[in-house]
Amino acid sequence: MKTFMAKPQDVERKWYVVDAEGQTLGRLATAVASILKGKHKPTYTPHVDTGDFVIVVNAEKIRLTGKKWQQKKLITHSGYTGGIKETVYADLLQKNPAKIVEHAVKGMIPHTKLGKQMSGKLKVYAGPDHPHSAQQPEELKIGS
pLDDT digits (tens, 9 = 90+) for 2-44: 888 999 999 999 999 999 999 999 999 999 999 999 999 999 9
CB of 75 within 8 A of CB of 116? no
**80 occurs within a structural domain:** no
CA separation for the pair 144, 136 (Å, rounded): 24
- Here the CATH number for the domain that contains residue 30 is 3.90.1180.10
For 134, counting Cβ atoms within 10 Å of its Cβ (0-12 exposed, 13-18 middle, 19+ buried), the class is: exposed
Q: Distance between CA 51 and CA 49 in Å, rounded?
A: 6
Centre a 10 Å sphere on the Cβ of residue 109 and count the other Cβ atoms it contains: 21
118 belongs to a structural domain:
yes
The pLDDT score that the predictor gives to residue 143 is 73
| Domain assignment of residue 46, given as a range | 14-63+98-140
Task: Please tell me the total count of domains within the chain.
Answer: 1
Predicted confidence (pLDDT) at residue 144 exceeds the cutoff of 60: no
Residue 8 lies in a domain: no
The pTM assigned to this predicted structure is 0.92
pLDDT digit string, tens, across residues 46-96: 999 999 999 999 999 999 999 999 999 999 999 999 999 999 999 999 999
User: Measuring CA to CA, which residue among 132, 125, 124, 106 is closest to residue 13?
Assistant: 132
Per-residue pLDDT band at 117 (split at 50, 70, 90) = very high
Would residue 5 count as lying in a domain? no
In this prediction, residues 115-139 reach a mean pLDDT of 95
Q: In this structure, is residue 30 part of a structural domain?
A: yes
